[in-house]
A = this chain, B = another copy of it.
């Protein structure tokens, strides 16, 4: 599952949290500078994500296919360099876009009653958690084993179930802590961590 869709897809869209424009406008308007803090980043990141999904739905309605990349934020510093992003701008989400060569099936989803809570959060007990993930355990494991390179990696490791594939092979503590630190440090570099 190499992400060669990034180089193969005709279009690659990156949606950025962007306060550069507005900070310049504030300066021109002799207004107090602001929007250089974490709250501002989150507001801009949420807005960029909402726009990305509007564009995604519009594209799909026209018969296009797309694939969100979890790597956009995780590699925001490297992507920021490639896109020549100035201070005030952070890449948040992105996807490749094109007419799909195949019509793939909808991926396994958790059942709705594991996702929706009414009035207050319904904390789930062990049996419920097991039931929610039962289908995914089977389908997800089968899906991973259908990719020869993932199958090999799983067989050569000591992982025994899907949850262990996730946190022993795919999303390790080390990689996630590294990503966390590099995103936070990029936020500082791009001027979103001024809290004095």
Contact = CB atoms under 8 A, between A and B. Distances in A.
Nearest to A166: B31
Q: Assembly of this chain: how many copies?
A: 2
B24 A183 contact: no
A163 interface: yes
Given A93-B46, A163-B26, A37 B180 contact: yes
Interface residues on A, range: 35 or more
Contact of A35 (B28, B32, B176, B183): B176
A171 B39 CA distance: 11
A168 B129 CA distance: 48
8 contacts: A21-B129, A28-B129, A30-B163, A35-B171, A38-B183, A39-B74, A84-B120, A181-B195
Interface in A16-48: 20-21, 24-26, 28-35, 37-40, 42-43, 45-46
A90 to B, nearest CB: 11
A86 interface: yes
Contact of A176 (B37, B46, B52, B89): B37
A50 B48 CA distance: 10
A29 B176 CA distance: 20
